[in-house]
């Protein structure tokens, strides 16, 4: 069995009893950073063989992990903090286990974006995006149609630039900035995407509240919205582009409704 185990995102005391017992029982522990994980394992009094398993070697290490499964041994996979597979290694191994038919499961626990969403008080549903891509074209594609609550991970070095991009793309929405989750100096700050944030430490979870349609045309059914522009002299393709822009959705979604 391969156990994907959530580890504390700050306070070491938040690890579950099941996680501790599982870590004690396995033959080996695969860690995103063995030095970082050793702090937690020493705190818990656990001494097991540890091996690195991170985004730069997860494909290379795959067969080594699977060799334990072939022998019928149990192993654990942990990241530096939170849940493996959420912006951390895990998905490659899960898909290999599915293909091979080897058993695997998740041992529940902390995940930073879930904590931050709850702290924001915003209403579900929400979409988790992780870190924004570097290229603007990739960002634009990722955020096509984003009108609900959106959750991002942001490093302090990218904070102001990311917020400014999101302000331009989504509008100056209310947002919730969270850092130092579960630690003594946990902070929750409510602001707007266009605000200047004076903070030079840590990593953040940015929870952006849902947008409010300010264009009254968006209150119309899509067909009537299209007709409005076409009566004004636009071609069908031009009207599709205009409606998609108004509603912040991909053009193909509007186009499908015209077929």
DSSP letters spanning 9-65: SS-GGG--HHHHHHHHHSSEEEESSHHHHHHHHHHHT----EEE--TTTHHHHHHHH
CA 7/CA 40 separation, integer angstroms:
9
Q: Do 154 and 122 sit in the same domain of this protein? A: yes
Q: Angle at which helices 91-100 and 58-70 pack, to 10 degrees?
A: 40
97-141: pLDDT as tens digits: 999 999 999 999 999 999 999 999 999 999 999 999 999 999 989
Q: What is the pairing mode between strands 28-31 and 50-52?
A: parallel
Question: Which 3 state secondary structure label does DSSP give 155?
Answer: strand
Portion of the chain with pLDDT greater than 70, in percent:
98
Residues 124 and 191 in one domain: yes
**pLDDT, tens digit (0-9, with 9 covering 90-100), for 162-199:** 999 999 888 889 999 999 999 999 999 999 999 999 88
Give mean pLDDT, residues 220-235.
86
Same domain, 74 and 139: no
Quote the domain boundaries for residue 8.
2-110
What is the distance between the alpha carbons of residues 201 and 31, in angstroms, rounded to a whole number?
25
Q: What CATH number has the domain bearing residue 27?
A: 3.40.1010.10
Average pLDDT of the residues in 17-43: 97
105 and 117 part of one domain: no
**Residue 213: band (very low, low, confident or very high) from pLDDT cuts 50, 70, 90:** low
User: Residues near 105 by Cβ (< 8 Å), separated by ≥ 6?
Assistant: 1, 2, 3, 4
Using CA atoms, how far apart are residues 186 and 178, in angstroms rounded to an integer?
7
For 32, how many CA atoms within 13 A lie in the half-sphere containing its CB? 21
Alpha-carbon Rg for the chain, nearest whole angstrom, is 23
Burial 240-253 (b: 16+ CB within 10 A, else e): bbbbbebbbbeeee
CATH of the domain at 157: 3.30.950.10
Instruction: Report helix angle 34-44 to 17-25, nearest 10.
Output: 110
Q: What is the pLDDT of residue 131?
A: 96
Which residue among 89, 110, 131 closes a domain? 110
* Domain-terminating residue out of 78, 110, 142: 110
Q: Tell whether the model's pLDDT for residue 246 goes beyond 90.
A: no
What pLDDT sits at residue 227?
A: 87
Mean pLDDT to the nearest integer, 237-251: 82
pLDDT tens-digit map of 152-171: 999 999 999 999 999 988 88
Structural domain tally of the chain? 3
Query: What is the average pLDDT value for the chain, to the nearest integer?
Result: 92
Assign 212 a pLDDT band (cuts: 50, 70, 90): low
Residues 96 and 122 in one domain: no
Q: Give CA 184 to chain center in angstroms.
A: 24
Same domain, 162 and 252: no
- Global pTM reads 0.79
What pLDDT is recorded for position 82?
95
User: Is the Cβ–Cβ distance between 154 and 204 less than 8 Å?
Assistant: yes
Could you give the C-alpha distances from 35 to 4, 16, 83, 86, 181, in angstroms and in order?
19, 21, 18, 20, 21
Sign (positive or negative) of CA dihedral 68, 69, 74, 78? positive
């Amino acid at each position: 069995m391969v156990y994907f185990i959530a580890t504390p995102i700050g306070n070491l005391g938040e690890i579950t009893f099941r996680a501790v017992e599982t870590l004690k029982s396995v033959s080996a522990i695969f860690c995103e950073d063995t030095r970082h994980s050793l702090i937690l394992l020493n705190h818990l009094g656990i001494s097991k063989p540890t091996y690195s398993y991170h985004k730069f070697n997860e494909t290379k290490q795959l067969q080594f992990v699977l060799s334990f499964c072939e022998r019928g041994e149990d192993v654990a996979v942990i990241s530096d903090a939170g849940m493996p597979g959420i912006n951390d290694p895990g998905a490659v191994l899960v898909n290999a286990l599915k293909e091979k038919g080897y058993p695997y499961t998740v041992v529940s626990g902390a995940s930073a974006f879930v904590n931050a969403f709850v702290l924001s008080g915003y209403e579900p549903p929400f979409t988790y995006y992780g870190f924004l891509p570097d290229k603007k074209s990739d960002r634009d594609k990722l955020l096509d149609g984003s009108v609900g609550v959106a959750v991002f991970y942001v490093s302090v070095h990218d904070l102001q630039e990311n917020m400014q991009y999101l302000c331009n793309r989504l509008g100056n929405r209310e947002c919730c900035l969270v850092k130092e989750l579960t630690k003594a100096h946990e902070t929750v700050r409510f602001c707007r995407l266009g605000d200047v944030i004076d903070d030079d430490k840590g990593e953040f979870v940015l929870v952006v509240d849902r947008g409010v349609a300010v264009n009254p045309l968006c209150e119309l059914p899509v067909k009537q919205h299209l007709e409005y522009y076409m009566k004004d002299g636009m071609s069908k393709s031009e009207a599709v582009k205009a409606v998609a822009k108004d509603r912040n959705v991909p053009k193909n979604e509007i186009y499908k409704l015209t077929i």
